[in-house]
Chains A and B, each alone.
Chain A
Amino acid sequence: MPALHHDVRLQISGVALQRGFRRLVADFDLTCAPGDIIALQGPNGSGKTTLLRAIAGFHTLAAGRITLSRLQGPGIEEPGEVLSFLGHQDPIKAGEKLIDQLRFWADLCGASRGHVAETLAQVGLSKQAELQGGDLSAGQRKRAALARLLLEDRAIWLLDEPASPLDQEGRALLGSLLDQHAKQGGIILAAVHDPLPLVSARILTLGTVKSGVAA
């Protein structure tokens, strides 16, 4: 079996998350190995987004720890080295051409600029490359965000409602990208309401904690 492209493990142990005084998640444990696809489900306000943001390092944990480790090779100092985050906002600027925006992200994460056109073709946005960000539809913006994910080429993908604005074809594309990423040894954590297209995912349900004022 050929060596996998990614070999990062994610371990979450005893994590508690809080927003203000409201406890969203308590004693949460999860271990992800290369190739895992996990669908986080739960009602609105159950802490799906907060959990993803906590893994990305944006949200401070109320308790517990999140460990990222490589099976071989150097240690991981910053979460940004191994993970990409796709939030429900799309970081697309209205007043800049799509291709320039992707070139910017390529520069920022150290990817080759040569891959930008190819990646745009992969998500079906070749014709829109010269459009201003403000002229893109919600689905096209999401596709552009997926293109950024591909450019960054990180092991762990944290996706917040990735399928919501996409059309049928876009969902199929998302499914095939997820499948490909998992086959390369990537880990995917997605907060979803509908099942993820094309791939079979482990389902985790949040919102079982009794929400209320934390001790």
Chain B
Amino acid sequence: MSLLRACLAILGREVRLGWGAGGGALLSASFFAGSVMVAPFALGPAPDTLGKIGPGYLWLALTLASLVSLERLFQADLEDGTLDQMLLSPLPHSLQVLSKILGQWLATAVPLLAVSPIAALLVRVEPEVILPLCGQLAVGSLGLFLIGAIGAALGASVRRGGLLVALVVLPLYAPSVIFGASAAAALASGGHFFSQPFLFLCALVLAALAFAPVAAAAAVRLHVD
């Protein structure tokens, strides 16, 4: 019971801090919306080209937008000593990290997913495909946040470590992006929601749910010395 209470406290605090002054929860969502908004200008508004690229472009935007929030995930806690205190708490460290990632996901990815149907319209995704596509983006974003946390943990003590985090994380993102974009392409060409690539993506997310918190917890521990 106290375990659940502690997990919920971490999760709730992450959301509260994200939405509080200077929290930056909307940064990823605005990055995502902005990058989709310029797509028709860069690629041309023609429905046949844009409609073909659209679903994959949304995945591209999601991937880059999820990088934006990663840098500060553990860094702030490391700098102000919160991490020391978390290590002393009786809660297993990997559970703390999992709660933290889920909190960050709730604070950051939910607004991003809320604007994604409009973003999909902008890149001319077929209206009937929009909601299932956004559902797949939601599942994928959780996986990206979990995997990204490993890189964020490794780069936590590096000032301006965003570049390092991106370098570590992008190769790890590749499988999720490949399966996610293939699932989106399958949807766009009339396939159904639980296509084979999407099932692979779900498997990846589940694996990340199990392993990423342990790996991130071990990586964070390296910086506390």
Contacts and interface: CB of A to CB of B under 8 A. Distances in A.
Given A90-B81, A91-B84, A81 B21 contact: no
Nearest to A154: B88
Given A58-B224, A80-B89, A83-B88, A95 B20 contact: yes
Contacts of A95: 17, 20-23
Nearest to B18: A95
A71 to B, nearest CB: 21
Nearest to B224: A58
Contacts of A126: none
A60 interface: yes
A85 B225 contact: no
Dominant SS among interface residues on chain A: mixed
B6 interface: yes
A79 interface: yes
A148 B84 CA distance: 13
Interface string B110-139: 000000000000000000000000000000
Contact of A81 (B79, B82, B90): B90
Contacts of A132: 21
A130 interface: no
Given A93-B80, A95-B23, A58 B90 contact: no
Contacts of B50: none
A137 to B, nearest CB: 16
A105 B80 contact: no
Interface in B177-225: 224-225
B81 to A, nearest CB: 4
Q: What's the interface size class on A, roughly?
A: 20 to 34
Interface residues of B, number: 29
Contacts, number: 79
Nearest to B24: A95
A107 B90 CA distance: 11
A207 interface: no
Interface in A92-135: 92-96, 100, 103-105, 107-110, 132, 134
A128 to B, nearest CB: 17
Nearest to B19: A95
Given A85-B84, A96-B20, A108 B91 contact: yes
21 contacts: A53-B225, A79-B88, A80-B87, A85-B85, A85-B88, A87-B81, A87-B84, A89-B80, A91-B77, A94-B22, A95-B22, A96-B20, A104-B10, A107-B5, A107-B8, A107-B9, A108-B10, A108-B86, A110-B90, A132-B21, A134-B21
Interface of B: 2, 5-6, 8-10, 13, 16-17, 20-23, 76-77, 79-82, 84-91, 224-225
Given A78-B90, A96-B17, A100-B13, 6 more contacts: A58-B87, A79-B88, A80-B89, A93-B82, A109-B89, A110-B5
